[in-house]
Amino acid sequence: GAAQHVPDKKVDSVCPYCGVGCQLTYNVKDNKILYVEGRDGPANHGRLCVKGRYGFDYAHHPHRLTKPLIRRAGVPKTGDFVMDPDRVMDVFREATWEEALELAGGKLKAIRDTHGRKALAGFGSAKGSNEEAYLFQKLVRTGFGTNNVDHCTRLCHASSVVALLEGIGSGAVSNPVMDVTKADVVIIIGANPTVNHPVAATWMKNAARAGTKLVILDPRRSELARFAHRYLQFKPDTDVALLNAMMHVIVSEGLVDQAFIANRTSGYEELRKNVEGYSPEAMAPICGIDADTIREVARLYATSKASMILWGMGVSQHVHGTDNARCLIALALMTGQIGREGTGLHPLRGQNNVQGASDAGLIPMMYPDYQHVSSPEARARFEQAWKLAPGTLDEKPGLTVVEVMDAIHHGDIRGMYVMGENPAMSDPDANHARDALAALDHLVVQDIFLTETAYLADVILPASAFAEKTGTFTNTDRLVQLGRQALNPPGDARQDLWIIQEIAKRLDLRWDYGHVSEVFDEMRRTMPSIAGITWERMERDDAVTYPCPNEGDPGQSVVFVDDFPRPTGRARFVPADVIPAAERPDTEYPLVLITGRQLEHWHTGSMTRRAAVLDALEPDPVALVHPLDLDAMGGRPGDLVTIESRRGKVSLYARADESSPRGAVFVPFCYYEAAINRLTNAALDPFAKIPEFKYCAIRVTLGGEP
């Protein structure tokens, strides 16, 4: 009857998916979410996308891990994971928490004591709260004794962050997404907001309707291109050529902001000389955009009252990802389009807490708040805050995600603790990553489902889903928001903060955190950017923007108004030259593979493929192929195709898709049965160690095993 659908409680929280950070309300009855409603948060004003509105029931899925699991003796770590709960008990046996924790933590400790602290590594998650990220990196740094801690930020915006830290002294956005409604011109490059930041895309469309000129630069034609004033479909991998040509125009036509350059920047001369060699005429055949269009767009951006740049993984996931971002930063600096409303630089963050997890120090080279591990002052500060003897903390930056996999192959890393990440699906050259995970002496995985990574574990610790815990999450706008617990975890599943502390105990750490707010308070003491945000204020206001250094500060949504957080106060130009992709098409592998996400599914699919509505909308693995390319192969939409690179092959269903350029195939990376990252190239950007997910050589043939 109807009473069945009447909630017994409403809990205000935020969406667990993307970095837009929409606020929502869970409507709960008998420990089940009945439905979700949008709330009036700063980023969404009541709006939600299909994932936020319908993607909640994974929390109730029968695949949830409800008991600790220990790998049965002698079961080899080979073969493919099959999402078949009946097979789980062939590989694992159930255990008590005490037994599982003793084994999980005890063996990590034994590896540390036998092989040294550098033989361990930990991956945290951008899906966890700030408090979980903070405690996890503290555990690795103080319990393992190494900086080998990282998470999926390495795979998404690491290059943007490196370029931003180098150029303007801060890795976060300068202006919130909502500023698109205050801009005259908005450049969106290498991003597909309709799919990946759907509610943000609605504000972009609203802005376009109200007169803002959207300029979209992307090899793939996104739905947002329909709203664009100009859409430039440049050739994949030619970002630097195109952006340098735009800067060439701005310099040669005298459209630079001389006063801004003189008063607020350094290194302009070098950049000016570098872009001299990039005339639009010379670059047009390289990037596939005619010189007049390059000129027009460059003038538009430089001369408008307020121009803003937003970008995504199309910019960052290249071996020249850092260079791509350097060019965007230089564009904003030379025109003075930063430091005011409706201007600035906005790398659109993917995960709901990828900004916060990085802020909290879940990265191998920085302590919380981007204090570098090699700085003696920073080390001393954290040794004091964490009550450690001077000289305890390691001064060497740790290994990044892909470097950890290589270190396992070399026998340097023997034990790992993975919390909520799924590198077996998300890492490039996933066969190599899976072999590495399988080669570990000891792998502890903490998750809510038996992921492809958990399948290779020695111990699995059943954790809590988003709606089962309270914590803070930082969205793409630097907005710290409160997620509140709406459900109790199922069976013996436990909250992640409790599990991290239990592992810490087994590594001889004496921690005593009660409520999550006690972790948050410690973070405030070590992180000047959020020092002014009290837990009481989080509970009252639900959302506060940092920097918020002092209690009572309103929080600053637009930064760099007067100066840049660099030692000189000035931003710095860094020139970039064209570097080709690590693996170009040839006669054997004539096509280009571009990977990414799709609207209905989230990352490696462990949540959304277990959400009924989302899975019904997109149930099968697909490859998006240009209709003319499909035709040339003699194929039709819906046909099975096999895609092969030098590293692996998968079979999936072809979908005719005019948004992909000819010669390029787009595949989402969420399908375990056609894990496309088996094919991607692990070549890294030298500055950020981000892999080249947006470009590798493949061939496609008709047919294959479904």
Q: Which chain residues interact with ligand SF4 by CB under 6 A?
A: 15, 17-18, 20-22, 44, 48-49, 51-52, 197-199
Judged by DSSP in three states, 355 sits in helix
- Of 233, 108, 138, 212, the closest CA to residue 658 belongs to 233
* 18 versus 135: smaller Cβ distance to ligand SF4: 18
Place of tokens 């947006």: 694
Least distance (Å) between residue 24 CB and ligand SF4: 7
CB of 225 to ligand SF4, least distance (A): 19
Considering beta carbons, is residue 202 or 392 the nearer one to ligand SF4? 202
> Closest CB to ligand SF4 among 52 and 339?
52
- The distance of closest approach from Cβ of residue 44 to ligand SF4 in the complex, given in angstroms and rounded to an integer, is 6
- Answer yes or no: are the C-beta atoms of 421 and 448 closer than 8 Å: no
Residue spans of beta strands (DSSP E) within 287-331: 307-311
Concatenated DSSP letters for 449-512? S--TTGGG-SEEEE---GGGS-EEEE-TTSEEEEE---SPPSTT---HHHHHHHHHHHTT----
Cite the beta strand spans of 271-404 per DSSP E.
Answer: 307-311, 344-347, 366-367, 371-372
Please report how close the Cβ of residue 479 comes to ligand SF4 at its closest, in angstroms. Answer: 11
Shortest separation between residue 449's beta carbon and ligand SF4, angstroms: 19
- Pairing between strand 120-123 and 230-232? unpaired
Please state, in angstroms and rounded to a whole number, the distance separating the CA atoms of residues 669 and 152: 14
- Give the nearer residue to ligand SF4 in terms of CB position, either 174 or 475: 475
User: Which residues share a beta bridge with 665?
Assistant: 593, 625
Angle at 48 between CA 26 and CA 422, to 5 degrees: 80
Residue nearest to ligand SF4 (CB): 52
In the complex, what is the shortest distance from the CB of residue 293 to ligand SF4, in angstroms, rounded to a whole number?
A: 31
Q: Could you tell me the smallest distance in angstroms from the CB atom of residue 522 to ligand SF4?
A: 27
Smallest gap from Cβ 54 to ligand SF4, in A, equals: 10
State how far the Cα of 368 lies from the Cα of 518, in Å rounded to an integer.
16
Identify which of residues 275 and 480 has a Cβ nearer to ligand SF4 in the complex: 480
Q: Which is nearer to ligand SF4, 22 or 404 (CB)?
A: 22
Residue closer to ligand SF4 (CB basis): 49 or 582 = 49
Least separation in angstroms between residue 701's CB and ligand SF4 is 35
Q: 52 or 635: whose CB is closer to ligand SF4?
A: 52
Contact (CB, 8 A) for 196 and 348: yes
How far is residue 252 from each of residues 40, 279, 335, measured CA to CA in Å?
46, 9, 13
Residue number with CB closer to ligand SF4 (44 or 125): 44
Q: How many CB atoms lie within 10 A of CB 114?
A: 10
∠ Cα 203 240 312 (to 5°): 30
The one-letter code for the residue type at 233 is: Q
